[in-house]
A and B are shown apart, each in its own frame.
Chain A
Amino acid sequence: MFTNLYQLNLKWIIRDRVLQALVGVALLLLVLVPAFSVLSMRQVQELSITLSLSFISFVLALLAILLGASSVWRDIEKRYTSAVLTLPYSRGSYLLGKFFAIAVCLVCSAAIFTLVAAVAISFSSGLYQSSLPIRWLHIFTAVAFDVLKYVLLVAIAILFSSISTSFFLPIFGTISLLLAGNASQEVFEYLTKDSVGVKTAKPLLYAAKGIYYLIPNLGAFNFKVSAIYPVALSSQGVIYTLLYFLVYTTIILYLAVYFFSRREFP
């Protein structure tokens, strides 16, 4: 029943030529990783890992924002809603079908990219001996958390789409939250550091705390440092971030379904 909607949306993503183009460009760029990496004479391996992770992150961000923000909007804009929302589905399964289809698309794209990146990294590191071993587990963890981060972002895009009629709120709202979410930890620490450096006014401090706990903490999903440099992976960090992802995404989807169920499609 629900899988039906989910398959429908997967079909939509696959038939969308934008996606193919994006995947093509991404694959091309990943193949170019070794070529770029040799530009750095000293740290070919580090650079190839950095490059690969950056590309994967960049493409996943694009996919998450474009697919997440456009999926519901397009159905409304092209008036598909009057046909599909009048089928015996709840509004919730309609929305979750979209969410899971896009999430699966992100996971699959990331898997393909990682595979290609692994080849590119192995090849590049063979060109110039590095003093550091390649820690594949750390690299895969970094990509996995990147995927989780963008899955969360898809949920946010869907929440915005569920309350907005325009394309702008989902797109720009999601992009703003992506930027803010990446920075929230730093800004929060800067403002709340009880130090001589910053004297934050009390109301501003409360506002900062409120915003910090409200918006997604996307910076936490960044495990790239331990994939690139010899820094230990914190198992505590992995577990907390995973839990945070689950709870936060569930809340966002809950709200999206709540608002979407109350929405009218005249």
Chain B
Amino acid sequence: MIRKVLFIALLGSYVAVIVPFSSYLGNRSIVNKLGYMPEAEIVKFALGDLRYLASQWAVFKVMLYFGGMVDNDINKLKLPPEYPGMSRMISNAVRLDPYNMDAYYLAQATFVWDVKDSAKEINKLLIYGMRYRTWDYYLPFFAGFNSAYFLHDYNSAAEFMKKAAELSGDPLFTTLSARYFHEAGRTELGIMFIDSMEHSAKDEKVRTSYHTRKEALLNAQKITDAVNRYREKQNVDPNTIEELISKGFLNKVPVDPYGGKFYLSKNGRVESTSKFAFGGQSR
């Protein structure tokens, strides 16, 4: 009898504790949620062959919190993203298992877009991966895209694309010569890349993130087209998007799926207050 009461009291206290406890855990900051992972060299040493699992687990964690950021964006929640922690995890993941494609893929899907000036670092990571995944055309393809889109280094981009073409045997890559990069607009290049990535994305959250980005770029492209037509007709740059609408070059202001507002920068380029990044406004 006393024991039963004691046990019920114990269960009661468990319920009383678990409710605030799990809500506290759910609301921990991403840096805390990501936790810490010992240096890859130590994990390797301690885990032996289990390190491949650890590598995958690190990717899973980053994926989870990247997914969390996608959700927060959709739900209009504002949480500062934790890129340094996530990039630490990814770099650990590839050091644990240099063949882990998911890690490279995730780096390409997230940091390179969302973290300013990260393309150089990511390309280093991709080049490191190319040493191992010698058969894989994705890595040079990513690196080529980054070189062109972010670094404006069209010659390296063409080199990487050539490598991708050789590995894949796909004629698409051969058309991506240095000249092409010079002539194509930046937005167009982005759309081209995302198109090919969206199809190959396995993870739904990554696909969602690509989809959102493509939508943003397409909408930006609409404005850019209007700006170009305006320039041709009026021989001056438009000052605002509203001007484009009032003069009939655009029927309505396209929506930025990142929740920002499109505007024209001084040199007539289309920008958004969201900077086309998850949580961009809060940064």
Contacts and interface: CB of A to CB of B under 8 A. Distances in A.
User: Do A's and B's CB atoms come within 8 Å in the complex?
Assistant: yes
Given A189-B68, A198-B204, A50 B39 contact: yes
Contact of A231 (B32, B42, B67): B32
B21 A196 contact: no
B35 A247 contact: no
Contacts of A251: 10-11, 14
Contacts, number: 110
B115 interface: no
Contacts of A222: 35-36
A75 interface: no
B200 interface: no
B35 A225 contact: yes
A220 B68 CA distance: 18
A51 B37 CA distance: 10
A195 B42 CA distance: 35
Interface residues of B, number: 42
Interface in B37-74: 38-39, 41-43, 46, 57, 60-61, 64, 67-68, 70-71, 74
A50 B38 CA distance: 6
Contact of B70 (A195, A219, A254): A195
B13 interface: yes
A185 B208 CA distance: 23
B18 interface: yes
A217 B25 contact: yes
Contact of B21 (A186, A194, A195, A240): A240
Nearest to B20: A240
Residue among B7, B34, B38 with the most chain A CB within 10 A?
B38
Contacts of B34: 225
B31 interface: yes
Nearest to A217: B25
Given A186-B61, A186-B64, A247-B17, A220 B25 contact: yes
Contacts of A217: 21-22, 25
What range describes how many residues of A lie at the interface? Answer: 35 or more
A254 B18 CA distance: 18
A54 B42 contact: yes
B38 A51 contact: yes
Interface string B91-111: 000000000000000000000
A240 B32 contact: no
Interface in A222-253: 222, 224-226, 228-229, 231, 234, 236-237, 240-241, 243-244, 247-248, 250-251
Q: Binding site of A, secondary structure by majority: helix, strand, loop or mixed?
A: helix
A41 to B, nearest CB: 13
Contacts of A190: 60, 64, 67
B17 A197 contact: no
Contact of A254 (B7, B57, B64, B203): B7
Nearest to A46: B39
Contact of B67 (A195, A219, A220): A195
Contacts of A241: 21
B35 A219 contact: yes
Interface in A200-226: 212-213, 217, 219-220, 222, 224-226
A47 interface: yes
Contact of B13 (A47, A51, A247): A247
A85 B149 CA distance: 75
A53 B8 CA distance: 37
B222 interface: no
A54 B57 CA distance: 17
Given A224-B36, A251-B10, A240 B67 contact: no
A254 B14 CA distance: 13
B106 to A, nearest CB: 14
Given A186-B61, A226-B32, A251-B10, 20 more contacts: A40-B39, A185-B33, A190-B60, A190-B64, A193-B67, A193-B68, A194-B71, A195-B67, A195-B71, A197-B70, A197-B203, A213-B18, A222-B36, A229-B85, A231-B32, A240-B17, A240-B21, A240-B24, A247-B14, A247-B17
Interface of B: 6-7, 10-11, 13-14, 17-18, 20-22, 24-26, 28-29, 31-36, 38-39, 41-43, 46, 57, 60-61, 64, 67-68, 70-71, 74, 85, 203-205, 208
